[in-house]
Amino acid sequence: MRRAALRLCTLRKVLLTPVRGLIQGSQDPEKESVLHVYEVRDKLREIVGASTNWRDHMKAMEERKLLHSFLAKSQEGLPPRRMKDSYIEVLLPLGSQPALREKYLTFQNTIRFGRILEDLDSLGVLICYMHNKIPSANMSPLSIVTALVDKIDMCKSGLSSEQDIKFSGHVSWVGKTSMEVKMQMFQSHGNDFSPVLDATFVMVARDSENKGPAFVNPLIPEGPEEEELFRQGELNKGRRVAFSSMSLLKMAPNAKERTTIHEMFLSTLDPKTISFRSRVLPPNAVWMEDSKLKSLEVCHPQERNIFNRIFGGFLMRKAYELGWATAYNFGGSRPFVVAVDDIMFQKPVEVGSLLFLSSQVCFTQDKYIQVRVHSEVSSLQSKEHRTTNVFHFTFMSEKDVPLVFPRTYGESMLYLDGQRHFKSMGVPVVMKKEYRVEP
């Protein structure tokens, strides 16, 4: 299946091991200087010169205009970098600093995955700034933002709220103005760190005012392992282009998909009548429209990023938590996240916007629930709504869940899109019973 090889955590672990080995020394945070998660955003503010005071944010943005002279006219004028130049390890000390646990705990004393998404988003941006560091400049002239969460795969491992968590990552592929970032998350088990998830983000560089694209430093892979990672980055780019061109918004469903939808439609016709309008649900099934949940957020300055727009990690956390609640409400038992897929940041969200989130189940199979969350914003002055993100989450319930049936043609397209995202997992994941990652 599509991306089957990339979907296996074991393969990714093998590919990333040589890169992790570029950092010498002990992994014991007491024996080496390791950045803590809560220091990442402070580091980012320092890199771009962002103000911590909302009243001063306009002044800080004006100062960034002076950095235009540091921007490269072409990529050829920038020095190449290696993967180890951007490699970083960051610690989330849940075990050694219990006061941090409150922020990451669910009401069931498990880990909030939405908070992990926030940390991954910040870390990905920091990694890219390390790749594009300019020694002669006190502040970076680049505005680096998240363009896409390509994939987050959960490995078969337990997650404790009382053990330290470590993130690591580096730039794995570079285009002219974009970068692919590979990140992993581990948790302490005794003297070792066991893998929890693999994440692939795509970041883009823009100018100092965040108004146009900017060139990034080229990347030179060293050795066969890094060359394989770089090659996979090229393949990922091609695959994303191909997947977009096959979107149901652009092309009709294929023959097999059309047959699936027609068979589902026929199975909902009332056998007592001879009418296409008389529809009844098969046993153990739910209409798609009855699986919806919605929420509204007022976007306050507290949730802004270093460029004074709403932090992408905040949007992911809110979308994930609504998606998790949708899966819980639909399946009737506690769901666990299996994968996060294809989150594209189409439009920035301004401070002061109204954020509308709409979540619904669009595909189910056995214990799996595919949830789609649609995000749109409007300003307080205008009633016009525009889409900013579409989120795709795959959950696994503790028991088999009902089938979901589309009633309209539009819902049928959502069903097929959900089926495509579910099948992109390659091989369904069998999670261990101790696995606990929740909102």
Q: For the chain, first and last CA: distance in Å?
A: 29
Over 90: is that where the pLDDT of 424 sits?
no
Q: Is the pLDDT of residue 46 over 80?
A: yes
pLDDT at 184 over 70: yes
The answer, yes or no, to whether residue 185 has pLDDT greater than 50, is yes
Neighbours of 269 (CB within 10 A): 15
What whole-number distance in Å separates Cα of residue 75 and Cα of residue 321?
40
For residue 314, what are its two tokens?
A: 């905040």
Cβ proximity of 368 and 396 under 8 Å: yes
Amino acid at residue number 360: Q
Q: Which residues pair with 189 in a beta bridge?
A: 192
Tens of pLDDT, residue by residue over 20-40, are 334 333 344 444 468 999 899
Q: pLDDT value at position 156?
A: 58
16 pLDDT exceeds 50?
no
For β-strands 111-112 and 336-345, DSSP reports them as unpaired
Name the token pair of 421: 């995202």
Q: Say what the pTM is.
A: 0.85
398/198 Cα distance (integer angstroms) = 23
Where helices occur in 307-439 by DSSP H, the ranges are 312-331, 409-423
